[in-house]
Structure 1
Amino acid sequence: MAGRRRVLAAWAGLLALVAATASADTDKSLDGYELTQHTRIYDAFISYPAPSWYQGKDPLDMSEMYRDQKGPEFILEQIPKGEAFNSWTRLYAVRGTYLGKGRTLPLDRYVNATLLGYVQMCGQENVGVSPVGQGGNFLTLLIFCQNSSKGQTDIGYGHGIGQITLIRFYAVRNTLLKVYQEWRGKAFLARDESSWPVPRAEVTMMIERFDGIEVSVSPLR
């Protein structure tokens, strides 16, 4: 516990860097912002917007897809059409974890476990965290990995590769959820937007889209 507090304290200092069964379908619209995908994950039913590379077509037609469920873990990932899952530049995903009937986990502990994964991949000195939204059952963060020096090279990470993640966390009954988009490219400095692997405007657009995410208790649970 003391170690976790030290890590969180370090992240607070880094804020100065930047002031069970699941089914999916898509509602189509002429406006990409309004286009919504739907997924049922364990206790939750979630509606979430299109990824940033959507350009007026069904995002399922513009994406390579990966979907898997193993017991209490579910994941649905999208990357731009033509890219590969070991070398993508943009990735959009929904993940769910079912804790078991009657079991819960405080949202902050779920968030902390995720952030520790970034420290392991990038090194604490390369991680910055900026809160961008919070509600009664969710938290939205922007996570900066300036250099994934300790990441797995066989899936596109390693020294010289950086990543920015926009992620929203939810807790619904016995289910934990996270929705996120990641941008990956050359190592960068968080304080220097010109070095980011994505234009600031695209990040801002996705922050606005994430405000349209809706999560409710699944009627089938």
Structure 2
Amino acid sequence: MTATDLPRPELTGVTGVAETLLSPGLLAALPENTSEAPWTVNCSAVLWTGRPTAAARAALAPQLRDSRAVVVVGGMVRYLETPVGPYDEVFGIVMVRESLTRTFGHVAFMAVDSPASLVGGRTNWAMPKTLASFSGGVGSGRTIVARGDDDKAWEVRATPRVVGPRVPVRSKAVTRQEFPGERLGDSRLSAKGRARPAVVDVQVASDGPLAGWMRPGRHLGAVAEDVTFTLGVPRLLG
């Protein structure tokens, strides 16, 4: 049986690490997608970077595992305005160098506390969202915690300490995901807001491979404030 033969292939045919797999019970309870791409959102976030390991390359979609992973980006996001309402999110992205001048990010892990966001993320952009619960908040000296729901035993904690002034930031990036049917697709992201550099204390625990590539410890990162970004309609490759 292929992914496209499973119930709701737009959800089950999305590639992600073990912590993102959807149980039959959760799958049966999820709503339909009511908010197609593009999405424009407003948020605050704690972000951090780390060196890629062999486990980071193994976390890539099968078609991307011959690529060169250059950095891992982790994040905890508090969305204030989105097409599906406010929600919290944790993610792990493996950044890949495509050429001397081009990189893209592959979202290998993502969890939210909104079923509507879960469905939208998987259906619109093939991002492997699962459900989690969150506590704490975003800010210097504050700890934000994400814990796996749906019988998943994982936890991510992030506590940033700001070490520099607030500066305006603008960013453009590309995410590359594997859609159902083993099709790769690129989605463009453009963002603007403010951020302060920070040292982020990260703790990761999981029964699966998550801690092997979203590594615990102290990492360079940032606290981002009043960020607005748009994630566009994906372009299928090939």
TM-score range, shorter chain: 0.3 to 0.5
Higher RCO structure, 1 or 2 (CA under 8 Å, sep 6+): 2
The structure where strand makes up a greater share of residues is 2
Looking at secondary structure, tell me which structure has more helix per residue.
1
